[in-house]
Amino acid sequence: MECKREQNTTPLRNQNNVKAYRILDIKDNHLYFQLWLNSDEQGKVKVSMPEEYTIGQYVDLQIIRNSRTSYQIHLLGKIPAAFILADGRNIAI
């Protein structure tokens, strides 16, 4: 899968609010992840081919908050290799 332009550099990632999220579960064509850092709330995003992803893998998402209770989630794809550290951790949370 080709990385999108906004995923490739740190300034573009920050400007476009792109963050890496770890996949916690995959069910019924949905990827589940921890939505907010200090919360147990999980988010989900629908994918057409869930077999391309594995639990524990990181994906880049844009989460745009519309209000206190409403938000949009955009899946950009797998995190670029440049943003995965040697020990398996990611730069973004």
Domain boundaries, the chain: 5-83
pTM: 0.76
pLDDT, tens digit, 9 for 90 and up, residues 36-60:
767 778 889 999 999 999 998 888 8
Per DSSP, helices labelled H in the chain are: 10-15
Summarised one tens digit per residue, pLDDT across range 21-30 is 889 999 999 9
**CATH 2.40.50 for the 5-83 domain, yes or no:** yes
Q: Reduced to 3 states, what is the DSSP secondary structure of residue 56?
A: coil
Residue 17 is given by DSSP the state T
